Amino acid sequence: MGKKVQKRSKMMQFLNKWGIAFVFLVAFLPYLSSLSFDYTLDDSITISENVYTKQGIKGIPDLFKYDTFHGFFQDKDKLKLVSGGRYRPLTPALFAIEYQLFGLNPFWGHLFNIIWYGLCCSAIFLFIRRLLKDRFSVETVILISVGASLLFALHPVHSEAVANIKGRDEILAMFFSVLSGYSMLRWYDKRNIRWFGLSGLFLFAGLLSKENAITWFAIFPLMIYIFRKWDWKKVLVGMSPALIAIVGFLVLRFSVLGHSLNLEVPGEMLNNPFIKVEDGQYVFFNLMEKSASIIYALGKYLTLLIFPHPLTHDYYPRHIPVISWNNIIVIGSFLIYSCLSILSFFHLKKRSIWVFGWLYFLVTISIVSNIFFTVGTHMSERFLFMPSLGFCLIVPTLLFDYFRDKRINTAWIILGLLVIGYVVKTQFRLPAWKNNYSLFSTDVMVSVNSAKVNNALGGELSSMAGRSKDIEERKRLSGQAIPHLDKAIEIHPHYKNAWLIRGNAYLYLEDYQSSISSYENALRIDPAYTLANDNLAVAYRLAGKNAGEKENDLVTAIDLLKKAYTLRNDDYETLRLLGVAYSFSGYLANAEKYFREATEKFPELASAWYHLGTLYYQSGDDIKGKEYLDKAIELDPDVLEKNK
């Protein structure tokens, strides 16, 4: 028995001394496979297609000067698509530095993500150890600190924040918030002025990473009340650096985004999940439907914490259906939240750790719950990153408290089985984040009724088709894309991007009528949709070419080409084809008009002069014919060979 105690004592000494490094490695190692992953999902917004990030260090001032999405959209109107705006300049600034050093290379982004994640988990270990130091023996404190940190580090629901480079905003917001809480505890215990100032600086850094760090202002008095001797004056003084940090951040945020909070409810389904389609019209959820959906999502959050399966990045309409209060999950969720909240209120004076964990969860989840303002989606697994610490603290506390003394090994066995399950699930989940195709094709199997992921997969398949040089492969990929795009449109009939991509897919299939119809639907939704307008012109042009060359129907060909010309009169191929079609139809004057217009708009193209010269030869004017052919040969000596 003495040897067991001695062995356990040595292990506790080891964990007390090297726990930070141990937790870091446990968090770091499972994500090594992500180093080979590409940019995925919203990485384009903050990294690969953000003009400020791609300026490197020179772009950092603009990252602090504008909304976080400004460098991607470059359009103030599009920044209003989601309520509240986004001001998270710290993580894009880090991306800019990485771009300056390594260029557009996702390896480094993933490497730094898992490093930051390891540091975040190590900070959690330090924070919990400091938090509990006056509550239990040193051994129990170490056991709970390690157990909670391991659960957090290995929880599969965190895979999105770590494997998606953009998720660094979640990691840094948590990292700096935890350090702020740790610093406040250090000051409260010892009155060290250094920790007093650091608590404010860390929280300010957390706020610059992501706005949800502001919820820790409510966590600070809670952790003092539960784990320390309460002193009103001392608490107020201790919270002053955090208050200064919040005020400073809000002043900075308002100076950048404007004084309005911009909390107006968006009227677009993909930016406001509380919109539905009735009789072909979009209508807002009524109060009962909206509240039921919010409670449903809160219940799903608890389910994912306990049993993280299945996982998906997409909870957009209609992955979570339009539901009411007669739904069993809604009723169950409401009862669980109500009972635990009431119990925590009555147990608050007992200063129970589970009460802190539950209230911590409620406070940190509140800002992303859609209760106070619409966050753009019903829920998201990355929104659980910060709140999950409450669950990760409660579980080992209850285990080590229940299986105390001789049965402590039972607690380790249960915790170990849970950790092993988490590791296995994380390893099965990670490959989905390898690239956009793997992510969308995996998650569409879970989020079957999500308009967004169906459109995303259709778009990725269509893009792959566009890059393919094999005609049959292009058609195969396009054929696979269309059912997903149709599903997206069925869910969200005014999804203009889905109509656009559907048009592209049918274009690759050479089904020009379906392609034209799709683009026209996109333009009916948004007459100013430039991409749809330009692609419609291409569809008309290709349809006209097909009618003339393959169907020998010059009348239809000319009609279609003229429609293309009306949409885009600066497209050389359309001008050329119109000239050719009129020439073969015997309308040489009309042919001359378009061939000449081609030379005027594209004087550097030898082909334009060649066709004009050939037309004059055809009409019997050899002098002009030779003049223009000579001009063509001057521009390109091989023009005659190329146009045989």
CB 160 within 8 A of CB 197: no
Q: What is the pLDDT of residue 79?
A: 52
Structure tokens that stand for 413 in this block? 């066995």
Structure tokens that stand for 169 in this block? 């905003």
* pLDDT tens track for 398-434: 988 777 765 667 888 889 999 999 999 999 999 999 9
Q: What average pLDDT does this structure show over 206-234?
A: 96
Q: What average pLDDT does this structure show over 341-350?
A: 94
Q: What is the pLDDT of residue 402?
A: 77
Whether 270 is covered by a domain: the verdict is no
The string of DSSP codes covering 338-372 is HHHHHHHHHTGGGT-HHHHHHHHHHHHHHTTSSSS
Q: Is the pLDDT of residue 83 over 90?
A: no
Q: What is the pLDDT of residue 473?
A: 97
pLDDT-derived band at 452, boundaries 50, 70, 90: very high
SS3 content of the chain, % helix, strand, coil (to 5): 75, 0, 25
Q: What is the pLDDT of residue 267?
A: 75
Least confident piece of the model among 70-79, 347-356, 550-559: 70-79
Scan for tokens 């333009």, then name that residue.
523
Q: What average pLDDT does this structure show over 446-451?
A: 97
How many domains does the structure of the chain reveal?
1
Whether 594 is covered by a domain: the verdict is no
Q: Is the pLDDT of residue 544 over 60?
A: yes
Domain that holds residue 249: 2-265+291-430
Q: Is the pLDDT of residue 442 over 60?
A: yes
Whether 568 is covered by a domain: the verdict is no
Q: What is the pLDDT of residue 1?
A: 47
Q: Is the pLDDT of residue 632 over 90?
A: yes
Q: What is the mean pLDDT of the chain?
A: 93
Q: What average pLDDT does this structure show over 603-618?
A: 94
pLDDT-derived band at 82, boundaries 50, 70, 90: low
Q: Please, how many CA atoms are within 13 Å of residue 618, restricted to the half-sphere of its CB?
A: 18
Q: Is the pLDDT of residue 463 over 60?
A: yes
Whether 40 is covered by a domain: the verdict is yes
Whether 191 is covered by a domain: the verdict is yes
Higher pLDDT, 366 or 78: 366
Q: How many CB atoms lie within 10 A of CB 234?
A: 15
Q: What average pLDDT does this structure show over 493-505?
A: 97
* pLDDT tens track for 324-337: 999 999 999 999 99
* DSSP 8-state symbol, 376: S
Q: What is the pLDDT of residue 15?
A: 80
Give the whole-angstrom CA distance, residue 227 versus residue 515: 65
Whether 75 is covered by a domain: the verdict is yes
Q: What is the pLDDT of residue 367?
A: 96
Q: What is the pLDDT of residue 214?
A: 97
Whether 344 is covered by a domain: the verdict is yes
Q: What average pLDDT does this structure show over 569-594?
A: 95
Q: Show Cβ contacts of residue 252 under 8 Å, excluding neighbours closer than 6 positions.
A: 87
CA distances from 165 to 236, 300, 315, 357, 592 (A): 37, 25, 19, 28, 56
Least confident piece of the model among 2-6, 165-169, 619-623, 636-640: 2-6
- Choose among 61, 155, 76: nearest CA to 422: 155
Q: Is the pLDDT of residue 295 over 90?
A: yes
What percentage of the chain carries pLDDT values higher than 90? 85
Q: Please, how many CA atoms are within 13 Å of residue 46, restricted to the half-sphere of its CB?
A: 28
- Choose among 43, 8, 19, 309: nearest CA to 153: 19
- For 283, phi then psi, to 5°, come to -135, 150
Q: What average pLDDT does this structure show over 51-68?
A: 95
Q: What is the pLDDT of residue 203?
A: 98
Q: What average pLDDT does this structure show over 588-598?
A: 96
Whether 152 is covered by a domain: the verdict is yes
